[in-house]
């Protein structure tokens, strides 16, 4: 097999243009024994981290690049018709310096030069040219465009400019052959320019889809992207059907007269060597007052915060209501402080403490905390959370332990109306260039892609709607699963050729990335300008985000925070303000009783619309189903708090079962949405109202759900009866692990949340 490396390739992240799925194209590369492959999205680096990591998993060397848009003059000039405002240029990162320069160029294309497309200009390229290798690109490249229009002088001048900017050994004249007449003209003119300017040739295939058979689905994809019908004669189209991942043999046959152009693909691949490191975190700089160091200041504010909590703990201890001694609290605090210092995370905690402190000082409502962070006494001391982890026996190691390879993750709820003020504070404190929101990508789901493809193929709306409605409306439904589960859909596919084509194209496009938008909560904070670490993107509303989604941001070691805007939190504080206005009573939401019978009555009746994580139909049904068999308030309250709202939210379904083991004995069974089988159960003993009055609660201990009584003897008596009993098998083990990740600490019943 001849040596050849693909240096010009677009994945699905060339949105609604590229149709290569990353894993599929890399699997094919590995199967063809290709040693390297480049990714060159249109104007962006959306796929760089994913492509890099997945390629290395297959022992394929990743070459990170981009097909940039170059403005004919200044990128700051925003005039001209869409097709005349930019030419294409392929840039490949040869080394780390080139990679960082590419990030800056691509970012500037969005933040400064966007006009129909994200554009750079030659002046900017000259500033960030080191470590980059350039290819003259396709028919939209400046050199090729000059030759195809019989403007040889313009083509020669353009090639000379790029040679001078990038260096004579760093600019290659790119040859392509897809059977297009203009390419024949360009390929016949390039050798003369190469000879006169002493520039090397290279050949590529401008890959946009994986196989030759994907040409039709790709054509439909272009129509989806441009909003055109398939029959429109003026629509964007790739007339040739050869933009697929050709084998080295096929490329050797196409360029048999240019063996050096083939060999140069390998030479370029050998030169390019960019490795994205792992394990290093880039935390923003938190300035501490003299004479403290970071660790000392962290311990100081933590212990000061604990001292502020201490009077309340002593008050509870004096009343006999504190389940653990003050000494236990102090030992746990010292342990957590030492562990956080050991893992070098004091700066992380100070950053979170600082912006939550700001929010409280500005009377911006802040939630009491959720998730594994509620297991940290340090977080409780710093008022990052308001859930006492000792009282609820929550485990710090679920949140942070030496085996955790990534930064801890604290989700913080803010008033939906004023969340932006906190983000603005963080932006001012750490620098506007150092803070950005995070991108997220929408994909083409089963029903949506059927409707998109049906519109492009100009099928009657009623016919497309009929097909879409036959797709079961369940979570994570795919067209393949729909054809298995819906006999009517399968029959329609087999009996109607138009439906068969619709589903064939839709299945090939299903799941591909459709658009980019802003993550609802994610914010990244860096120690220097974001563009030192990640490329930036400018959204439709001019919002600046990273070009990498949350997982990739964490993967490269940047600090990601979730600033969640919670409408129920806003509603609660609006209600408090209205109560104060109309009655003069000032309600302290942090001191409401946890054993209020009327509050539990709301849960008994399933009237939990608007209550965070209890407003879905599944969560509303649980307490209501228990009315007849277990009429006592305490049993119903137990069922309400035991049903793990997060598991319901992630696709599980809970239901009540009688156990036949005595009055009040019920079992809450969780059913996996994908299997329909019960894979875990809670057995809840009957108890009297006295337990409710003493704050009886369910909590997590070492992965078990324990019905917690008030005394040690009572706890021992209930231990076995309340233990979580899980079925065997891998599915049950998987669900247990998932449940542990989703479990929330059971805290306040105060109209905002039941954690």
Q: What's residue 734's pLDDT?
A: 42
Q: What's residue 71's pLDDT?
A: 94
Q: What's residue 645's pLDDT?
A: 54
Which residues sit opposite 544 in a β-bridge?
538
Low-confidence residues in the chain, pLDDT < 70: 1-2, 83, 405, 622-755
Q: What's residue 625's pLDDT?
A: 61
Going along the chain from its start, the domains and CATH numbers come out as 22-210+245-271 (3.20.20.140), 294-440+517-569 (no CATH), 593-742 (no CATH)
Orientation angle between helical segments 487-495 and 461-469, nearest 10 degrees: 140
CB atoms within 10 A of CB 706: 19
Q: What's residue 664's pLDDT?
A: 38
Q: What's residue 719's pLDDT?
A: 35
Q: What's residue 403's pLDDT?
A: 80
Q: Are strands 61-70 and 87-93 parallel, antiparallel or unpaired?
A: antiparallel
**340-376: buried (b, 16+ CB within 10 Å) or exposed (e) per residue?**
beeeebbbbbbbbbbbbbebeeeebbbbbbbbbbbbb
Question: d(Cα 223, Cα 235) in Å, to the nearest integer?
Answer: 7
Q: What's residue 79's pLDDT?
A: 83
CB atoms within 10 A of CB 22: 17
Tokens of 55: 């390629």
């Amino acid at each position: 097999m001849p040596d050849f490396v693909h240096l010009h390739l677009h994945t699905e992240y060339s949105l609604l243009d590229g149709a290569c799925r990353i894993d599929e194209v890399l699997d094919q590369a590995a199967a063809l024994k290709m040693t390297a492959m480049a990714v060159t999205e249109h104007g962006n680096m959306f796929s760089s981290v994913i492509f890099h990591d997945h390629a290395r998993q297959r022992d394929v060397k990743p070459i990170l690049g981009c097909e940039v848009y170059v403005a004919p003059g200044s990128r700051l000039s925003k005039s001209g018709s869409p097709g005349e405002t930019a030419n294409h240029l392929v840039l490949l990162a040869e080394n780390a310096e080139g990679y960082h320069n590419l990030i800056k160029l691509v970012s500037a294309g969005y933040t400064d030069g966007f006009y129909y497309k994200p554009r750079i200009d030659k002046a900017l390229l000259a500033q960030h040219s080191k470590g980059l290798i350039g290819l003259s690109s396709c028919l939209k490249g400046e050199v090729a465009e000059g030759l195809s229009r019989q403007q040889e002088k313009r083509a020669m001048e353009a090639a000379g400019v790029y040679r001078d900017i990038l260096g004579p050994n760093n600019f290659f004249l790119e040859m392509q052959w897809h059977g297009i007449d203009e390419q024949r003209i360009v390929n016949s003119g390039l050798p003369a320019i190469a000879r006169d300017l002493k520039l090397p040739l290279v050949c590529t295939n401008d890959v946009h889809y994986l196989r030759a058979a994907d040409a039709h689905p790709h054509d439909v994809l272009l129509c989806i992207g441009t909003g055109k019908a398939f029959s429109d004669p003026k629509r964007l189209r790739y007339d040739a059907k050869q933009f697929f991942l050709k084998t080295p043999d096929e490329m050797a046959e196409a360029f048999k007269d240019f063996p050096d152009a083939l060999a140069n693909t390998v030479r370029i691949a050998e030169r390019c060597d960019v490795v994205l490191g792992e394990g290093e975190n880039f935390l923003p700089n938190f300035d501490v007052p003299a004479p403290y160091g970071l660790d000392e200041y962290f311990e100081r504010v933590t212990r000061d915060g604990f001292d502020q909590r201490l009077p309340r703990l002593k008050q509870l201890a004096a009343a006999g209501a504190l389940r653990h001694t003050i000494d236990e609290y102090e030992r746990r605090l010292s342990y957590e402080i030492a562990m956080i210092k050991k893992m070098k995370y004091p700066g992380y905690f100070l950053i979170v403490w600082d912006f939550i402190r700001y929010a409280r000082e500005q009377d911006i409502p802040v939630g009491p905390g959720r998730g594994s962070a509620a297991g940290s006494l340090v977080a409780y001391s710093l008022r990052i959370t308001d859930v006492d982890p000792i009282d609820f026996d929550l485990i710090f190691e679920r949140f942070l332990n030496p085996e955790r390879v990534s930064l801890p993750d604290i989700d913080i709820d803010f008033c939906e109306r004023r969340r932006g003020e906190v983000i603005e504070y963080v932006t001012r404190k750490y620098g506007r260039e150092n803070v950005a929101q995070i991108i997220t990508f929408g994909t083409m789901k089963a029903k949506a892609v059927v409707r998109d493809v049906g519109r492009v193929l100009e099928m009657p709306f009623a016919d497309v709607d009929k097909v879409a409605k036959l797709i079961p409306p369940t979570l994570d439904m795919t067209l393949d699963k729909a054809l298995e589960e819906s006999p009517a859909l399968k029959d329609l596919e087999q009996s109607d050729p138009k439906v068969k084509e619709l589903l064939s194209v839709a299945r090939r496009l299903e799941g591909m990335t459709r658009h980019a938008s802003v993550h609802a909560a994610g914010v990244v904070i860096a120690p220097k300008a974001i563009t030192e670490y990640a490329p930036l993107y400018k959204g439709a509303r001019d919002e600046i985000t990273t070009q990498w989604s949350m997982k990739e941001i964490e993967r490269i070691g940047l600090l990601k925070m979730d600033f969640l805007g919670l409408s129920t939190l806003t509603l609660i504080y609006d209600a408090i303000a209205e109560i104060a206005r109309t009655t003069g009573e000032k309600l302290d939401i942090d001191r409401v009783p946890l054993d209020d019978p009327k509050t539990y009555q709301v849960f008994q009746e399933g009237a939990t619309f608007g209550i965070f994580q209890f407003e879905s139909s599944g969560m509303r049904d649980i307490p209501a189903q228990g009315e007849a068999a277990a009429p006592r308030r305490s049993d119903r309250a137990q069922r309400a708090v035991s049903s793990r709202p997060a598991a319901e939210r992630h696709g599980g379904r809970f239901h009540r079962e009688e156990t036949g083991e005595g009055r009040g004995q019920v079992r809450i069974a969780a059913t996996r949405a994908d299997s329909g089988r019960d894979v875990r159960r809670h057995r809840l003993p009957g108890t009297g109202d006295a337990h409710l009055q003493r704050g009886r609660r369910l909590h997590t201990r070492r992965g078990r759900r324990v019905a917690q009584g008030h005394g040690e003897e009572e706890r021992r008596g209930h231990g076995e009866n309340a233990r979580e009993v899980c079925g065997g098998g891998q599915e049950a083990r998987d669900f247990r692990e998932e449940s542990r990740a989703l479990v929330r600490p059971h805290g306040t019943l105060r109209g905002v949340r039941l954690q």
